[in-house]
Chains A and B, each alone.
Chain A
Amino acid sequence: MSIINLLKVAMTAILSNKFRSFLSMLGIIIGVAAVIIMMAIGQGSKESVRAELSKMGTNLLTIRPGAERRGGVRQDPSAMQTLKPADYESILKEAILVTKVSPEVTSSGQVIHGANNTNSTVYGESPEYLDIKLWQLKDGICFNEEDVRKSAKVCVVGTTVVEELFGDKNYDAVGKTIRFKSIPFRIIGILKSKGYNNWGMDQDNVIIAPYTTVMKRISAQTYYNSIVVSAISEELSEKATEELTEILRRNHKIKEDAENDFTIRSQQEMMETMSSTMDTITVILVVAAAFSLLVAGIGIMNIMLVSVTERTKEIGLRMSVGARGIDIMSQFLIESILISLTGALLGIGLGYGGSWLARTVFMLPSDVPLWSVSVSFCVCAFIGIFFGYLPARKAARMDPIEALRYE
């Protein structure tokens, strides 16, 4: 029989049992929609993380103490104290591929103003910090080298801190004094709001103060928690990393074959790490959704087996008028492929709808990757063939005499 006639026969068979055909399609529809929505959200999140990270400056390098951690092995606490003021000095003096440097000392705790208090983190930085992170001030000014030298008790705060302590995030808090661990800080600048970042951290709940102030007056430490650096450009990040490594190894007197006691990570790497985490989550979700496709395939096989049994007499008749096994086989295979592909099309539509809903109603970043559409379509074609094969073979192998006699 020609392919057009086979399609006609399959269409007739599907349409003559509309509700049943729809039910067996439903599994495919839901499965495909689930796969597409999951992939859309996965892809969308990845894109938005990427955008978020590049907003922080793609030429950002972060130097952290301690060797690169592998497999969660706990490190010697002294390894976390390897970044010293001398390293900062050397970088300032020697590094040529680096434009801006800021040592970083952090301390978390309660911050108080009048009867209000909130938990926040004080970041001890150099005045170049805001430029490195591409952060901007909404109000006031940032501290300067003079403040650093004098360990001045001044700070720049994020809007969340203002809101928590003064009741209104638009409150003009410049000139007010807040207390952090009983040390008074005068607010000299307020940061523009940046909202939450992608991994749920409030980027406005920060207090930035001169690093000397934090080291001397709050945490009483002589080492840095990290050093953040701006490379000249994104392209030169790698070269800058090599340069910094060289300076720090020499400073730390690390032998030729010994491991670094610090780690330099570029924004690029951060992005890759985030992306790969996202990918893992996406893969898990998609695999879960794909299992529903498998179940849907079994549903189709079940319906096809019922359909073959129901139409035994028709099969017998077709055989008696000259249908070969292969004709009967293709008839039922095409029917199951048609069911699963129709389901796939409806599922793709539903997936697009669902992803649109996720984007507009639930504000989730979602973006249907085109390849996910073609992949689901191919997978469904495969499901149609794979799960239609057994029932089709059963039909093709029927004995025409028995089939004609079947009641």
Chain B
Amino acid sequence: MQTSDTNAGSSPRKVVIELQDVRREFRVGSEIVKALRGVSFKIHEGEFVTIMGTSGSGKSTLLNQLGCLDTPTSGEYILDGTPVRRMKRSERAVLRNRKIGFIFQNYNLLAKTTAVENVELPLMYNKTYSAKQRRAAAIDALKAVGLGDRLDHKSNQMSGGQMQRVAIARALVNNPAVILADEATGNLDTRTSFEILCLFQKLHRQGRTIIFVTHNPEIAQYSSRNIMLRDGKIREDVENHNILSAAEALAALPKPQDD
């Protein structure tokens, strides 16, 4: 719906995500817990945003909102032009299928299933894809994350870094409006974390919109914008004009000794 940016100086960019005073309350026993207390922001196409906050800051709740897994108690969330709050469960499922790519901390790959089959999964729920198109798209996505040679490896035959790459390929395969990563490097060692960050930066350069939820402040340096949450409110929302290169950081890391 809104295609122009109000920020002075930058070129008109499409708004992918718009939150308008989003609030989310949970009833726990007799108490009402306010997880989000009025969050508003816009994210434009091609941004790489980190959302940071300590545990209890509401970042998981916000992620669930952004991922259409949950709906706000009040306020409105507009994803790629579609208001989400009043959508039915099944409508949101379809919306997730077409507009969102999820990446989880623990990869969440299907066990005993090959990389290609894992990547094909979102397209299984999209009837417009034929089996052939599905496979072709999955292979393309796996090539894009550098796993073109591991198409038929099963999830239990891969390292953590490889599994996360498969998960990223799965998030890319439906060509989503936004990629949502939840602590995507949380389970990986430093080196692999940087490799995955490199991949995210590459996707960013290709024009993908990425939201990376983390509690690790280091990651913010590699993204284009950083939103800090505290107690269900935005405490800080700053653009990062000095984006560090994950590739350089990776090169600077001491080489593994045991190679």
Q: Which of A258-266, A311-319, A352-360 contacts B (4 or more CB under 8 A)?
A: A311-319
- Docked CA distance A318–B89 (Å): 14
A320 touches B94 (CB 8 A): no
User: In residues 25-75 of chain B, which contact A (Cβ within 8 Å)?
Assistant: 64, 67, 69-70
User: Chain A contact residues (Cβ within 8 angstroms of B): what range?
Assistant: 20 to 34
Residue pair A321, B69 in contact (C-beta under 8 Å): no
A320-357 interface mask toward B, CB cutoff 8 Å, 1 = contact, 0 = none? 11111111000000000000000000000000000000
Chain A residues 31-62 with CB under 8 Å of chain B are none
In Å, the complex CA distance between A317 and B64 comes to 13
Q: Is the CB of B90 within 8 A of A404?
A: no
Contact B90 A326 (CB under 8 A): yes
Taking residues whose C-beta sits less than 8 angstroms from the other chain, chain B's interface range is 20 to 34
Q: When the two chains form the complex, which single residue of A313, A325, A326 contacts B108, counting CB atoms closer than 8 Å? A: A313
Q: Are B126 and A322 in contact (CB under 8 A)?
A: yes
B232 interface hit (Cβ, 8 Å): no
Question: Can you name the residue of chain B whose Cβ is closest to the Cβ of A5?
Answer: B124
The distance in angstroms between the C-alpha atoms of A326 and B122, with both chains bound, is 15
> Which residues 149-208 of B sit at the A interface, judged by CB distance below 8 A?
170, 174
Q: Is the CB of A325 within 8 A of B89?
A: yes
Does B112 sit within 8 A of A, measured CB to CB?
yes
Chain B window 90-132, contacts with chain A (Cβ cutoff 8 Å), 1 for yes, 0 for no: 1001101110001010001011110000000110111100000
Q: Decide if the interface of chain A is mainly helix, strand, loop or mixed.
A: helix
B110 and A321: CB pair below 8 A?
Answer: no
* Cα of A5 to Cα of B64 in the assembled complex, Å: 28
A1 pairs with B124, CB closer than 8 A = yes
Residue of A1, A2, A16, A400 touching B112 (CB-CB under 8 A) = A16
Quick check: A323 and B69 within 8 Å, CB to CB? no
The CA of A277 and the CA of B122, in the complex, are separated in Å by 60
A401 at the interface (CB under 8 A from B): yes
Chain A residues with CB under 8 Å of B64's CB are: 401
Q: Which A278-331 residues have C-beta < 8 A from chain B?
A: 313-314, 316-327
Sample of 5 A–B contacts (CB below 8 Å): A319-B69, A321-B97, A321-B102, A322-B126, A322-B174
Interface, chain B (partner A; CB < 8 A): 64, 67, 69-70, 89-90, 93-94, 96-98, 102, 104, 108, 110-113, 121-122, 124-127, 170, 174
- Which residues of A line the B interface, CB within 8 A? 1-2, 5, 12, 16, 313-314, 316-327, 400-401, 404
